[in-house]
Structure 1
Amino acid sequence: MPKIADIEDTPNPNAVKFTLHEPLTWGITHSYENAEQAKDDALSCALFDIKHVSNVFYVDKWLTVTQDGEADWPALVRLVAVPIRAAPAAEAQSAAAVFAARTSIAALSEEDQTRLDAINTMLDEQIRPHLKNDGGDLHVVGLDGNQLSVHYQGACGTCPSSISGTLRGIENLMKSIEPDIQVVAV
Structure 2
Amino acid sequence: MRNTVVKSGLRQKQWQGAVVRRLLSLQTMKTPSENALKFVATDKTRFLPEGMQQAIDIESLAEANEKSPLASQLYKINGVRSVMIGSDFITVNKVDNSLSNNPELDWTSLKPKVEQYIASFAKTKQPFLDQHYLEEYQKELDTLDENDDDVVYEIKELINTKIRPALQDDGGDIHFRSFDESTGTVFIKLRGACKSCSLSEDTLKGGIESMLKHYVPEVEEVRAVLDPEEEIAIAEFEKLEKKLKQNASASGPSDPKVRPEAHA
Q: TM-score range by the shorter chain?
A: 0.7 to 0.9
Q: CA RMSD in A?
A: 2.5
Judge which range, 138-147 or 150-159, deviates more: 138-147
3-state secondary structure, aligned to 2:38: strand
3-state secondary structure, aligned to 2:34: coil
Question: What is the CA deviation profile of residues 59-96 of structure 1, one whole-angstrom value per residue up to 9, with x for unaligned ones?
Answer: 211110010022110210111112211334869xxxxx
| Distance in 2, Cα, partners of 1:80 & 1:129 | 24
* TM-score normalised by length of structure 2: 0.60
Which position in structure 2 is the counterpart of 1:149?
Answer: 187
Unmatched segments (≥5 aa) in structure 2: 1-21, 98-104, 129-133, 226-264
Shift of 1:179: 4.2
Which position in structure 1 is the counterpart of 2:63?
Answer: 37
* TM-score normalised by length of structure 1: 0.83
Which position in structure 2 is the counterpart of 1:167?
Answer: 204
Shift of 1:103: 4.1
Higher relative contact order (CA 8 A, sep 6+): 1
**Aligned to 1:3, which of 21, 24, 28?**
24
> Are residues 125 and 8 of structure 1, via their aligned partners in 2, closer, same or farther at CA, if it must alter by over 3 Å?
same
Q: Which has the higher helix share?
A: 2
| Distance in 2, Cα, partners of 1:154 & 1:44 | 13
Give 1:84-123 correspondences, 5 Å limit: 84-88=118-122, 101=138, 103-104=140-141, 110=147, 112=149, 114-123=150-159
Does residue 25 of the first structure (1) align with residue 62 of the second (2)? no
Which position in structure 2 is the counterpart of 1:127?
Answer: 163
Question: What is the CA deviation profile of residues 35-57 of structure 1, one whole-angstrom value per residue up to 9, with x for unaligned ones?
Answer: 12211221111111211100100
Q: Which has the higher strand share?
A: 1
CA contact (8 A) 2:65 2:72 kept: yes
3-state secondary structure, aligned to 1:178: coil
| Distance in 2, Cα, partners of 1:8 & 1:111 | 37
CA contact (8 A) 2:81 2:94 kept: yes
Amino acid at match of 1:115: V
CA contact (8 A) 2:57 2:85 kept: yes
CA contact (8 A) 1:167 1:183 kept: yes
> Are residues 81 and 102 of structure 1, via their aligned partners in 2, closer, same or farther at CA, if it must alter by over 3 Å?
farther
Shift of 1:118: 0.8
Which position in structure 1 is the counterpart of 2:36?
Answer: 15
Number of equivalent positions: 176
Larger Rg: 2
CA contact (8 A) 2:26 2:115 kept: no
Question: What is the CA deviation profile of residues 1-44 of structure 1, one whole-angstrom value per residue up to 9, with x for unaligned ones?
Answer: 45133101111000000111211112253211111221122111
Question: What is the CA deviation profile of residues 116-141 of structure 1, one whole-angstrom value per residue up to 9, with x for unaligned ones?
Answer: 22112112222211111100111112
Amino acid at match of 2:108: P
Q: Percent identity?
A: 26
